Amino acid sequence: MPVYPSTPASIHYSLHAHDYPYAEIYESGVKFAERYPKVVNGSVHSLHMPSHIYQRTGQFPEAASGNEQSVTSADEFSMSGALKYRGGPVGSLSWNPALLVSGYGFAYNAGNVYHSLEYEAYEVLQSCNFPEAALETERMGVASFQALAMGGGRTIEQPDTDHKITNLGSAWFNSTTYYGWFYRMEARLYQEAALSSLLGGVGKAAYEGPGVGGAASPG
């Protein structure tokens, strides 16, 4: 353990150092997962970090709780007014009337929010909470679009030529990575809903899904 064991940075990197699929390693990381939320209580990514360890130990309720706090922290900051002059209004109805979290103001940390949602969707599925997983997946689609829209790409014209250079910023990574994960998660929920139907509606697996052009596909 580093010289300063209670600093957020020390605990954060200790969690990364114990995030390996070997019990003799990840079990030693539980103490850091338990300690971190007591040190940081408003950082989106930090509140998510303990779930890396809790997933490996099978403590899925604890992991899901941490990721729920992570997303809530992002939303509270977005709605605080701190982002009033960045990215447009928060919860703008012109973006997507179905979702409060749709404003550009929520896009400032879309990558970390997506990451927390992805983990939480997986964690709630471990207790067969399909409706909650569907909600997390729906918002993953929104976060994917926000991350893509805020990719920072731009086109530069070269002087004295007809050539232009287009830099997509992070948009290419976001579109190929986030959307890839989102569609796989959505497909899995459709499969589970179909299986539930074949078995006579076992559990609460019914999933209509956001669908193309629905709430998870703003644009």
- Taking alpha carbons only, the member of 172, 51, 178, 61 closest to residue 116 is 51
What does the pLDDT look like over 143-172, one tens digit per residue? 777 777 666 655 656 666 676 666 666 777
Sequence-ordered list of residues with C-beta below 8 angstroms from that of 217, at least 6 positions apart, any chain: 141, 145, 210, 211
What's residue 153's pLDDT?
56
What's residue 150's pLDDT?
65
What's residue 32's pLDDT?
95
Q: Where are the beta strands (DSSP E) in the chain?
A: 154-157, 164-167
What does the pLDDT look like over 185-200, one tens digit per residue? 888 888 877 777 777 6
What's residue 80's pLDDT?
72
What's residue 11's pLDDT?
94
pLDDT tens digit at each of 219 positions of the chain: 555 667 899 999 999 999 999 999 999 999 999 999 999 988 899 999 999 999 999 999 999 999 999 988 888 877 776 665 555 444 444 444 445 455 555 666 778 888 999 999 999 989 888 888 888 888 887 777 777 766 665 565 666 667 666 666 677 777 778 788 888 888 888 887 777 777 766 555 444 544 333 333 222
Assigned token pair, 141: 């689609």
- φ, ψ of residue 140 to 5 degrees: the values are -60, -40
Distance, in Å, from the CA atom of 94 to the CA atom of 215, rounded to the nearest integer, reads 13
Which pTM does this prediction carry? 0.74
- Taking alpha carbons only, the member of 49, 170, 186 closest to residue 110 is 170
- Encoded amino acid at 192, one letter: E
